[in-house]
């Protein structure tokens, strides 16, 4: 487990490979973008000319790609990772995709004599950098055990959540719930503010009551009430609204195909779709508060005092 | 501030008056139900023959009544509390009602030379008993200060949230948010379970991720995963679903009249309405999980092992 | 029943009074806007200096005002219509307001020896002009009979729908349904178009199937498919989206207070709220199609050919 | 085009084959159910021992099957219709399935030298019997032309709506819209009835106003207001709620994958899911009115008088 092929060197792949290199792994990277690959080489990743070349040289293959289609093509397409990796190789997909794709790929991998786990992450770029990601891992226990040193090089909390696909399912469950809670928190704040409440006091009370949730506690959507979160920085950084939308669409598809009631999730998904259409796709998902209330109007009436940068 | 009239001796009023008596206040109680009044007398409350009689003898009047109509009638009706209380009396309504009613009553009280604050609570019967309620108080600072000893006799956290009506608005904001998060949590669990996840593991992961909220942390709706909550006891005790529905209807009305976006809150409200129609009105509001999934079917396939109390 | 006081000379009141004058009634009008009053005088309405003056001189009083608050003030405020009209006068409110206001006003009118009916209209400005409005009338049969000649001067279809308030309730039921069907039609068209269907053919099929509704048959929201409707004219004219929103809010309030399930109505209401926030408040309500799809993008790809009128 | 293989002899296939036989076509039928096949033989259909045998003998193959999985298996599975039919055969699928399946099958058929069109129907069993179905046909114009005599033997209105898959897309658009309008109509009726309106009068008014739609005009959900519809017969017959749900799920999937806004459609879909869970899956889809109001309670208060047929 010393040599790792890493396919997909984006905002997440770059810091993840840096942590792997620092932990002593040999990492062979590939990305369609030459610039991305160059950056990775800068912190010690070895350059491959193709995903296939990387896979052929590795004990473990990790993929971190944008969509299920990218993942399927990477594994099953011509010169795909299943075909080009060595027999017995451990394949690990950390993308956020539908578990139906995962299950299909894991079966194909097994049929070809490879092993596959799904290990999506939560925590975003900041925790990718600090090596404190949370991993939700699906697959056979022995494969998850084998991956443990790698997972620990990149993350802080490793949950083995079930069989193949369970990692991706867990991720979708969490993200649909976080979208619901964030959209609901935005509405509750809008309701209070429109009726004269101070959002800071309202938040303090709800944080100590049954309305408490991650948005109020650690990721507040109302500008000026919490430091170090996207709402403190014009909703830059964090988790883009269109990525949130992508995950909620996957969750909606999964709920629909498994015939699970998902009225709240469906609605939150459509609200994020409208929010993205309104021009906020690149802003952090907590910016959904703009759908529930007009922040500009609010701050026109409640100017932020002088010296503070908010 | 030694003599307190307490109007409304239900599940909340009974333990609240006990704590007042134990803190040394003289409490004169009244309730339409002779049995309720008798219970209160049993722990030291003095019996009044009418709300008016209680009010006439008191420095402070506290009301704890089921609906805004009850509250309005109690204060403004014939021989109402505003009329029969002494000039300067501090009136405190701890019911959960619409802030529009509060604002109206507070203005009438002021015009009649009385003082009024709204001080709804959260925490339910258990924390009413232990004297650890949370109070969300709206009104003038000096009146809230005067009420402080009483509030501390009954509660642990006292938030002065703004002017008259702000207490009730805060309560509604919190309760609509808790309804949204609970319904959303139910859906997320249903989605995971239908796709093969263990609800305990899924909950553990989400509790450590962006989906974290009060339902997962302290009030879990899935039977068998948490002790001491209504889901551990067939959804008995706790906060009735029809009370949750009542509060969400008040929040919906407030959002509608103040033209605030409330798509998530509206939907959650209607889901609780359907849940109540389905025969679950008296069950704790976390039983909304039954709308999202068929618990009987689940437990038929996952029998709880012998010695465990669920 | 020869002399009619008409209070409220807006887009509807102007053509309605013209038809009354042409039918031989003596009409005494009043509006806060001097310009509006001047226009009415231009087609034979007599000028009153106040609503009270008009009411005092009339056998029948008709009001056509923007909101329930306007109506309540006009009837119950200082020098209100109930007080200043003569005993026995027939009062008729044609505004679209909540039936709870109507019921209150009708009771006050009765107590003061006046008679009151509610008679909201459908059909908009075009049918107000042509005297072909539909009236939904609530009140005592004898009062509705007395109003018949007036109603026939302004409208084509007169429905006596029940007791006092029933007219306004009927109007709200219809308008919430039309909002639901319009929003639903927009989504169905968006779904088809995004999947390559020609909206004209899709509409033709649905018009002949179970999806048929008023929007497809007589008020098509997709530009270029129907002449003489707002979508053929950049959504100018017709029924403003913010008026639709106002009516849906009234319906939502009524559903909430009467504890009626209204999940679809609630959602459609919030969608119209978002649509208005997006800058389309003044456009006809069929412009809600812009929330479901990007018309500009569509027409960039499907340019309308030269000589065609769209 | 004289010999027709017909695969799937259910409630729709039986009357459709009868009409084909009566129009002079030679029909070779197959169904997994021996009883169904026996019935078809009773009106002149020739018995095949397998779908493959039927296909091998035919100029045209028509399939009428429950789900996309059935259709895919029938065409692409072992001894599938594409393989066993003769080169040049016209394949026509009249099932209601996702257009993504259709597009895949049509491509496979073309690659194998067969021709394929999708031709789902509306009108249900009654119009299947009377030969007055509506067909929404997707495919090449020449293939649709070739199918015309068959379509006319079974239907009254034939719409060629576009390329392959367009038939199924059109069907889904219509059915999601009909579900939205039916659920909305149910809510509007419930709102009126709860506020004292007579549902017959309310319906008459809305039928003449902007709320008009197929449910009010031809398929009324309120028992006792219209003859010959399922609501007049305890919601027996007609179009089962779980079939409506199935179609709305397909539409939801299509909207999700094509990124089309579908908040109203999603919600209506979930309402039908709850309705089916409540035990009404086998009742006609207009029974969704039971979700919006308690019909039993209504009729307890408004007994239907003796001689009337409801």
Bridge partners of B30, per DSSP, are B7
Domain assignment present for residue B26? The answer is yes
Cα dihedral angle (B14, B19, B25, B27), rounded to 10 degrees?
0
Do A80 and A57 touch, CB atoms closer than 8 A? Answer: no
D13 and D144 fall within a common domain: yes
Do C209 and D174 touch, CB atoms closer than 8 A? Answer: yes
Cα dihedral angle (C108, C113, C119, C120), rounded to 10 degrees?
-30
Which residues of B are less than 8 Å from C253 in CB distance? Answer: 253, 256-257
A54 and A131 fall within a common domain: yes
**Looking at the predicted structure, is the pLDDT value of residue D95 above 70?**
yes
D52 and D26 fall within a common domain: yes
D177 and D117 fall within a common domain: no
Q: Which of B134, B201, B212 sits opposite A209 (nearest CB)?
A: B134
Domain assignment present for residue B79? The answer is yes
Phi and psi dihedrals of A115, rounded to 5? -115, 145
Enumerate neighbours of D (3 or more CB pairs within 8 A): A, B, C
Dist. CA A75–CA A84, nearest whole Å: 9
C186 and C48 fall within a common domain: no
Dist. CA B256–CA A294, nearest whole Å: 16
Which residues of C are less than 8 Å from B270 in CB distance? Answer: 261-263, 266
Do C102 and C73 touch, CB atoms closer than 8 A? Answer: no
B267·C262 Cβ contact <8 A: no
Interface test with B, best of D274, D278, D293 (most B CBs within 10 A): D274
Which residues of D are less than 8 Å from A252 in CB distance? Answer: 252, 256, 266
Dist. CA B203–CA B218, nearest whole Å: 12
Structural domain ending residue among the three candidates A135, A163, A191: A163
Would you place residue A124 in the very low, low, confident or very high pLDDT band (cuts 50, 70, 90)? confident
- Proportion of chain D above pLDDT 70, given as a percent: 97
Q: How far is C79 from chain B (nearest CA, A)?
A: 25
Domain assignment present for residue D307? The answer is no
D143 and D176 fall within a common domain: no
Q: What does the block give as tokens for D195?
A: 């506020």
A32 and A138 fall within a common domain: yes
User: Mean of the per-residue pLDDT values for chain C?
Assistant: 95
What's the predicted TM-score (pTM) here?
0.94
Higher-scoring residue by pLDDT: C265, B99: C265
B195·A258 Cβ contact <8 A: yes
User: Would you call D187 an interface residue with chain C, using a CB distance cutoff of 8 Å?
Assistant: yes
Would you place residue C123 in the very low, low, confident or very high pLDDT band (cuts 50, 70, 90)? confident
User: Mean of the per-residue pLDDT values for chain A?
Assistant: 95
Domain assignment present for residue C42? The answer is yes
Q: How far is C271 from chain B (nearest CA, A)?
A: 8
Domain assignment present for residue B194? The answer is yes
D158 and D173 fall within a common domain: no
Q: Measuring CA to CA, which residue among D264, D262, D261, D281 is closest to residue D272?
A: D281
Which helix (H) or strand (E) element contains residue D6? Answer: strand D3-7
pLDDT in tens, C6-43: 999 999 999 999 999 999 999 999 999 999 999 999 99
Interface test with C, best of B245, B265, B266 (most C CBs within 10 A): B266
Residue A204: which CATH number?
A: 1.10.1040.10
Structural domain ending residue among the three candidates B128, B149, B164: B164
C13 and C158 fall within a common domain: yes
Q: Whole domain around residue B59: which residue ranges?
A: 3-164
- Proportion of chain D above pLDDT 90, given as a percent: 92
Dist. CA C150–CA C141, nearest whole Å: 15
pLDDT confidence of residue C126: 85
pLDDT in tens, C70-112: 999 999 998 999 999 999 999 999 999 998 899 999 999 999 9
Q: What does the block give as tokens for C94?
A: 């044609």
Bridge partners of C230, per DSSP, are none
Q: How many domains does chain A have?
A: 2
Which residues of B are less than 8 Å from C261 in CB distance? Answer: 270, 273-274
B208 and B173 fall within a common domain: yes
Question: What is the greatest pairwise CA distance in chain A?
Answer: 65
Do A241 and A277 touch, CB atoms closer than 8 A? Answer: no
Residues sharing a CB contact under 8 Å with residue C268, sequence separation 6 or more, in sequence order = C176, C179, C180, C183, C248, D184, D264
Give the up-direction half-sphere exposure of residue B10: CA atoms within 13 A in the CB hemisphere. Answer: 12
DSSP C86: P
Which helix (H) or strand (E) element contains residue D161? Answer: strand D155-162
Q: Which of C110-119, C121-130, D277-286 has the lowest mean pLDDT?
A: C121-130
Average pLDDT, integer, range D94-104: 92
C33 and C108 fall within a common domain: yes
pLDDT confidence of residue A305: 54
Residue C122: which CATH number?
A: 3.40.50.720
Domain assignment present for residue A16? The answer is yes
Q: What does the block give as tokens for A181?
A: 């809670």
Do D187 and C264 touch, CB atoms closer than 8 A? Answer: yes
Residues sharing a CB contact under 8 Å with residue C232, sequence separation 6 or more, in sequence order = C223, C224, C226, C309, C310
B249·C266 Cβ contact <8 A: no
Structural domain ending residue among the three candidates D99, D128, D163: D163
B263·C252 Cβ contact <8 A: no
DSSP C231: G
pLDDT confidence of residue B6: 98
Phi and psi dihedrals of D133, rounded to 5? -65, 160
Dist. CA A135–CA A128, nearest whole Å: 11
Residue-wise pLDDT tens for chain B (310 aa)?
689 999 999 999 999 999 999 999 999 999 999 999 999 999 999 999 999 999 999 999 999 999 999 999 999 998 999 999 999 999 999 999 998 899 999 999 999 999 999 999 998 888 999 999 999 999 999 999 999 999 999 999 999 999 999 999 999 999 999 999 999 999 999 999 999 999 999 999 999 999 999 999 999 999 999 999 999 999 998 899 999 999 999 999 999 999 999 999 999 999 999 999 999 999 999 999 999 999 999 999 887 654 443 3
Which residues of D are less than 8 Å from A183 in CB distance? Answer: none
pLDDT confidence of residue B304: 63
Residues sharing a CB contact under 8 Å with residue D282, sequence separation 6 or more, in sequence order = D240, D241, D242
Domain assignment present for residue D308? The answer is no
Nearest CA in chain B to D267: B267
Q: How, if at all, do strands A155-162 and A133-138 pair?
A: parallel
C125 and C237 fall within a common domain: no
Residues sharing a CB contact under 8 Å with residue D161, sequence separation 6 or more, in sequence order = C197, C198, C201, C202, C205, D136, D137, D138, D167, D169, D170
Dist. CA C303–CA D265, nearest whole Å: 29
**C 113-172 residues inside an 8 A Cβ radius of D:** 122, 134, 136, 157, 159, 161-163, 165-166, 169-170, 172
Dist. CA B54–CA B48, nearest whole Å: 5
Domain assignment present for residue D310? The answer is no
- Could you give the 3-state DSSP secondary structure of residue A225? coil
Q: Which long-range contacts (CB under 8 A, 24 or more apart) does A40-46 make?
A: A40/A6, A40/A9, A40/A13, A40/A14, A43/A14, A43/A17, A43/A18, A44/A18, A45/A6, A45/A9, A45/A17, A45/A21
């Amino acid at each position: 487990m010393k040599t790792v092929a890493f396919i997909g060197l984006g905002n997440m792949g770059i810091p993840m490979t840096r942590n792997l290199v620092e932990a002593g792994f040999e990492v062979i990277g590939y990305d369609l973008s030459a610039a991305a690959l160059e950056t990775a080489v800068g912190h010690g990743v070895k350059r491959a000319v193709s995903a296939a070349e990387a896979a052929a040289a590795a004990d473990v293959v990790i993929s971190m790609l944008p969509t299920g289609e990218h993942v399927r093509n990477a594994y099953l397409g011509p010169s795909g990772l299943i075909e080009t990796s060595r027999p017995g190789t451990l394949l690990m997909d950390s993308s956020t995709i539908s578990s139906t794709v995962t299950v299909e790929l894991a079966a194909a991998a097994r049929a070809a004599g490879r092993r596959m786990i799904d290990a999506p992450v939560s925590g975003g770029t900041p925790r990718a950098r600090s090596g404190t990601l949370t991993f939700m891992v699906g697959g056979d226990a022995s494969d998850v055990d084998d991956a443990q040193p790698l997972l620990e090089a990149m993350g802080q909390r490793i949950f083995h959540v079930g069989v193949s696909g369970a990692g991706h399912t867990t991720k979708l469950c969490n993200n649909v719930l976080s979208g619901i809670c964030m959209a609901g928190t935005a509405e509750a704040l809008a309701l209070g503010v429109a009726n004269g409440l101070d959002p800071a006091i309202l938040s303090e009370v709800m944080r100590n009551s049954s309305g408490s949730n991650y948005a109020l506690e650690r990721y507040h959507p109302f500008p000026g009430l919490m430091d170090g979160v996207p709402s403190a920085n014009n909703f830059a950084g964090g988790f883009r609204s269109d990525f949130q939308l992508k995950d909620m669409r996957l969750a909606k598809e999964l709920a629909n195909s498994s015939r699970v009631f998902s009225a709240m999730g469906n609605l939150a998904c459509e609200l994020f779709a409208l929010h993205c259409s309104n021009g906020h796709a690149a802003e952090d998902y907590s910016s959904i508060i703009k759908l529930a209330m007009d922040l500009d109007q609010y701050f026109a009436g409640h100017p932020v005092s002088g010296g503070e940068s908010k």
